[in-house]
Structure 1
């Protein structure tokens, strides 16, 4: 081999490591990207639509950290992020991660999109030698390139957001993700942690929007520094405007004659003249992205002020585009879809209309949802002091939520027919990794409350959430508090689950010591509890001095945050593997709902006392123990009304002969508490 051949071999071997001439993503895609047959209507070399160019260049602009894309179906978003993945692997050699809503979605994405792109885009062969090989660098979860790696994950599990350090991240179909991933935070925040420390961090978020007020992509768009829409010149007056659906009561937008979709025209909001899709396609290449503040993007991807001066790119940008902008979908087809959806909606079936709004118009669907208004609840508050018990209260339970820096506690008093009163709301600053903080919580749970009758009641039962980062600390706390009705719980947010579900034995790994089957973990049907609670919140206010089964009272000393968190969720319809189901979700991403969670756990604790099964004679007997007719403020404390009730001799006569003997509690009747494993079971 002569010297020239050696030099050629060395040059070829080092070519993959050479720094390429800088180029934008739109330029790279025009030169290298290819549409594969398996995932495109037509197999061919990529040619960007006019509205795609600026979005692609924003994705590759190192000054922009976040790109948000609200879109309908059929506008080419998936191809755009595939082109970006190829660009960052081939041209910029940056580590990437993409999340799909579920693991199954991630697998399908790899098979139908990623693998075909790596096969058909010739440039990728120079940086992905493992293609078509059985290799650790070519799996369903990882594609190892020369100088970089692409990770592919599903978004349901919090563990899928850990142990990754990348430069570029994508969240595809963001509105399909859980708003709070296993109670560890939003997928946007969890994924963003993976680019902290990157020289040029980039987060690309795209989705078809879903429900108004609960759309993650809409929330990110609202937080963007600049929000852009694509404006085209009118074929008649030349005025730039956004192509919009409009509506029957709007003078602009799409109009057609009778029920004939073929006559559809878009009417300019400036001059009022209509034009066809063919007319639109003569001017769409002269369209440009303009923000709400007048900032616009030129053909070279540069950001300009309203006066035309070049300015620095915003840190975060948002784009919105819908089906009518694409030449791939006839406008007549859009109208035809609408007419079909409208006909079904008139018969009461709005499912097709909802799909039209989301996937064709690229807008959120506003739906009537079951919710409670915090202002209305606050307005009906009553003048009773917190940490005191009104006369109607006959038992007290607590719910506890464990956060990284605090314990949230809500204490509820319960009366006949499960009429209820919040009697305390505490946020205890804490470090759950510290023994001292748990001692502080233990001391609080021994608090007693003066009753209007003159007696003193303590917390009969308490439930503490095991979710979050301190599960084993919670287990250990519950295990070591013998003599207290303290329950370790985990919420099960699914339709039909009982409020007091099954209990399972759990191992405890605390301070390196394993305790086999050391604690009972109780499963709480949170959706069922919320259904019950929100139904009770709708009950009419009883007359002064009258009781009402199930009615929820409020103290005028409760802070506004209590009401906001209690009503932080609404009941909506969501698609599940079992079909459409009602689920409780937060009104807004990131909203705090600890008061609601604690209230649900306090309801569970009341169920553990069997209060939901009490008959009138049972309530009467409990009232005689708690609020005897001759109350005395100086009388001995009554630390537990249920404890005292259990101490009543078995032969004590029932106040109603119709009550079976089995309902009369005795000191040995553990089942009176609804706990077949004994009242210390947890």
Structure 2
């Protein structure tokens, strides 16, 4: 029986059609049983320009990353939340998730960065090197030099999906297309609203509603307690922590900063090189090598039942790239650098929210801390004077504060100028105050270096008076809510002023003050532990920032100083924020303190070098050649008879 041969004719274009069908079928093929960490170990290559350890990816290098990555590829998990410090590799885990989906489970992907500039940087410096150096991705992402538009900086196409990279400040990018995998990086740095569209995280989440198998990943270092997006998201999750076993006793524990120990020298000097982690159970001390090996044997444990949201929390103690010596040095530097530096350490090293110090101290406690300071006398360590003026309807209240090194401060005088802003005589008496002097303990006369006055009430009258006396010694200020520790005072800006019924363009110089920052700082200073009288007599120094209150202030003034507290409230959109609320109606003493503190900032006290402080000390020290000029003040005016403006308010 003869064989029958069948000839198959290949029509023009048939091979192209077969290849297209093959690609479509491949895109529709269910993903293999491969986790993101497995994929990364098999395929990922770290690039030399994006990693200190280029070459093959090893999840075991930072074992805690395995649980985070595999949660993203877990079908039972809809949302993954990572609240983490810096130096833990959280960005790399996101890159692995993107690479996995491009290679194994194609889908529409969106990466949201805080700004469009951050989005471009992430694309160029992090994603592009990974796509170039990971072989399985190189063939799936079009050549960036091609002109087909499939590989742009912020939009990249691949078979079965695309990658879009946007900034949270760009509402058009957030609302542009449906997304199955949403990765939001550094969500605590996002603006409160994307234009007029509302919260950028919620706006981006809406892009995922059409996908039954959507995945949302929120990652960030935290910021302030009560105003942190990532903390809120973590609290809604199952709150997983990484437990590691002690190599000595075998008991597991969560690694916390309180167990990092180091020794001091006989002179009390810190020795960061001696830092060790101390087991909370058996007090065994782990060096860096032991700690890293121990972390490699750890596991994630949830604190709450799982409900489709997997939450992970990490600090730098877990990181295989951070030594305890470096952490201790950063901590000591932050503690010496004040609130802003300490906030940075808590957020970026411990991965915890910063708690603003907004609880009002008890006024009776302050009453017991009053000191025997003569009214109007500047103590030896007071080196310059500022004043804060609070304008009321029927009076202007002024507090004069002396300031020394470390922002140690003393209340020197309190005055109530009757009449209010509608009374020209009231402004005349305030002008006289600018020329008045207070005697330093050394005998040197000192005048007010800068007076900050509130413009919230009768703004035009304040501008008119400030123009009349000049802006060299007077700073009109406007208080705004919110915290800005890096720069709590901004300006000056030129604003229009109405003088004698005539509007003057750019007629006044206005400083903007983040009052929340200085209120929180004042309360923190007031709550500090102080040395006892015996310790002071023996030579002990007061801590930086100590607020010295004289015995002549009465209970009403003390109650005004602690008249507010910081609370967490939710706005109409349900977003939490911190807000100062009054505990009592009158708070003039607190406001005047904030304005005087702003005046010290404007003068530059927060930024002076030791040499500048030394110069101030020389200015207030008597010399054999005579008495120097007043410290940080205007040149002495011709001597005139001044009427001391004193109120019977203090008795």
TM-score, normalised on structure 1? 0.50
Q: How many residues align?
A: 391
- Specify the alignment match of 2:301 in structure 1: 290
Contact 2:187/2:218 (8 A) holds in 1: yes
> Which residue number in structure 2 is paired with residue 315 of structure 1?
308
Q: Which residue of 1 aligns with 2:536?
A: none
Structure 2 match to 1:102: 115
Residues 1:214 and 2:227 aligned together: yes
Q: Equivalent of 1:148, from 161, 169, 188?
A: 161
- Specify the alignment match of 1:157 in structure 2: 170
Question: Shift of the alpha carbon at 1:177?
Answer: 0.6
Cα separation, partners in 2 of 1:79 and 1:132, compared to 1, 3 Å: farther
Distance 1:7 1:106, change over 3 A: closer
**Does the 8 Å CA contact 2:227/2:576 hold for their aligned counterparts?**
no
Q: Deviations over 1:523-576 (max 9, x none)?
A: xxxx969979x99xxxxxxxxxxxxxxx9xxxxxxxxxxx99x9878xxxxxxx
Q: What is the distance in 2 between the residues matched to 1:530 and 1:283? A: 45
Contact kept? 2:116, 2:170, Cα under 8 Å? no
Instruction: Write the distance in 2 (CA, Å) between the matches of 1:115 and 1:154.
Output: 18
Q: Is 1:238 aligned to residue 223 of structure 2?
A: no
8 Å contact from structure 1 (residues 257, 264) kept in 2: no
- For the structure 1 residues 83 and 108, does the alpha-carbon distance in structure 2 shift closer, same or farther, using more than 3 Å as the test? same
Alignment pair present for 1:260 and 2:271: yes
Report Cα offsets for 1:445-477 as digits up to 9, x if no partner: xxxxxxxxxxxxxxxxxxxxxxxxxxxxxxxxx
Partners of 2:318 and 2:127 lie apart in 1 by 26
- Deviation string, structure 1 residues 311-361 (Cα, Å, up to 9, x no partner): xx630011011112121112222112222223x33xxx3333222221111
Counterpart of 2:105? Answer: 92
**2:138 aligned to 111, 114, 125, which one?**
125
1:229 aligns to what SS in structure 2? strand
Cα pair distance change 1:56/1:568, threshold 3 Å: closer
Matched, 1:21 2:32: yes
**Inter-partner Cα distance in structure 2 for 1:530 and 1:276:** 43
d(CA) in 2 for partners of 1:592, 1:237: 44
User: CA, structure 1 residues 351+236, in 2 after alignment: closer, same or farther (shift >3 Å)?
Assistant: same
What is the CA–CA distance in structure 1 between the aligned matches of 2:117 and 2:577, rounded to whole Å?
30
CA distance in 1, matches of 2:193, 2:162: 27
8 Å contact 1:568–1:587 — kept in the other structure?
no
Q: Note if 1:40 corresponds to 2:51.
A: yes
Post-superposition shift, 1:157?
Answer: 3.0
CA contact (8 A) 1:213 1:587 kept: no
Alignment check: 8 A CA contact 2:331 2:342 kept: yes
Structure-2 change in CA distance of 1:492 and 1:239 (3 Å): closer
Separation in structure 1 between the aligned mates of residue 196 and residue 495 of structure 2, nearest angstrom: 21
Question: Are residue 336 (structure 1) and residue 321 (structure 2) matched?
Answer: no
Residue in 1 that maps onto 2:344: 355
Indicate if the aligned counterparts of 2:69 and 2:97 stay in contact, CA closer than 8 A: yes
Shift in Å, 1:257? 4.4
- In structure 2, the CA distance between the partners of 1:31 and 1:359, relative to structure 1 (3 Å rule), is same
1:109-153 deviations in Å (ceiling 9; x for gaps):
111011111111111133223444233221122011111011110
How has the CA–CA distance of structure 1 residues 323 and 353 changed in structure 2, closer, same or farther, with 3 Å as cutoff?
A: same
**1:213-249 deviation digits (Å, cap 9, x = unpaired):** 211111111122x000100001111111011111xxx
Work out the CA distance in 1 between the residues paired with 2:515 and 2:196. 20
Q: Structure 2: how far apart are the matches of 1:141 and 1:128?
A: 13
The two structures, once aligned, show a CA RMSD in angstroms of 4.3
Distance in 2 of aligned mates of 1:279 and 1:593: 41
Task: Tell whether the 8 Å contact from 2:262 to 2:271 is kept in structure 1 after alignment.
Answer: no
Aligned to 1:628: none
Query: Residues 99 and 14 from structure 1, CA distance in 2 versus in 1: closer, same or farther, beyond 3 angstroms?
Result: same
What SS class does the counterpart of residue 286 from structure 1 fall into?
Answer: coil
Q: Deviations over 1:43-68 (max 9, x none)?
A: 11111121000100001112211111
Partner of 1:367: 356
* CA distance in structure 2 between the aligned counterparts of 1:55 and 1:529, rounded to whole angstroms: 42
Displacement after TM superposition at 1:167 (Å): 0.2
Q: Deviations over 1:77-117 (max 9, x none)?
A: 11110111111122111111111101111111111011111
Matches within 5 A, 1:593-604: none
Cα 1:586–1:109 change in 2 (3 A) is farther
Note if contact 1:208-1:358 (Cα within 8 Å) is conserved in structure 2.
yes
Cα distance in 2, alignment partners of residues 324 and 253 from structure 1: 9
Matches within 5 A, 1:546-585: none
Task: Please say if residues 84 and 315 of structure 2, whose CA atoms lie closer than 8 Å, have aligned partners that are also in contact.
Answer: yes
Q: Secondary structure at the match of 1:181?
A: coil
| TM-aligned CA deviation for residue 495 of structure 1 | 5.9
Contact map agreement 1:127 1:145 (CA 8 A) in 2: yes
Q: TM-score, normalised by structure 2?
A: 0.53
- Judge conservation of contact 2:292–2:318 (CA < 8 Å) in 1: no
Residue 39 of structure 1 aligns to a residue whose secondary structure is: coil
SS in 1 for 2:162: strand
Tell me, yes or no, if the aligned pair for 1:357 and 1:365 is still in contact at 8 Å.
yes
Secondary structure of the structure 1 residue equivalent to 2:248: coil
SS at match of 1:37: coil
CA 1:590/1:319 → structure 2, altered by over 3 Å: closer, same or farther?
Answer: same
Q: Unaligned regions of 5+ residues in structure 2, if any?
A: 1-6, 361-392, 394-419, 423-479, 483-488, 498-510, 520-559, 582-651
Verify the 8 A CA contact 1:70 1:362 in the aligned structure 2: yes
Contact 2:114–2:190 (CA<8 Å) still a contact in 1?
A: yes
| 1:375-412 CA distance string (max 9 Å, x none) | xxxxxxxxxxxxxxxxx9xxxxxxxxxxxxxxxxxxxx
Q: Structure 1 pair 41/496, CA: closer, same or farther in 2 (3 Å)?
A: same
Question: Is 1:68 equivalent to 2:57 in the alignment?
Answer: no
Q: Identify the residue that residue 82 of structure 1 maps to in structure 2.
A: 95
Aligned equivalents of 1:529, 1:271: Cα separation in 2? 50
Answer yes or no: is the 8 Å Cα contact 1:119–1:131 preserved in 2: no
Residue equivalent to 2:68: 55
Greater CA drift, 276-285 or 84-93: 276-285
1:590 pairs with 2:575: yes
Inter-CA distance 182–257: structure 2 relative to 1 (3 Å threshold): same
CA distance in 2, matches of 1:271, 1:124: 48
Partner Cα distance (1:592, 1:265) in 2: 38
Partners of 1:322 and 1:206 lie apart in 2 by 13
Distance 1:9 1:593 in 2: 61
**Contact conserved, 2:243 with 2:252, CA < 8 A, in 1?**
yes
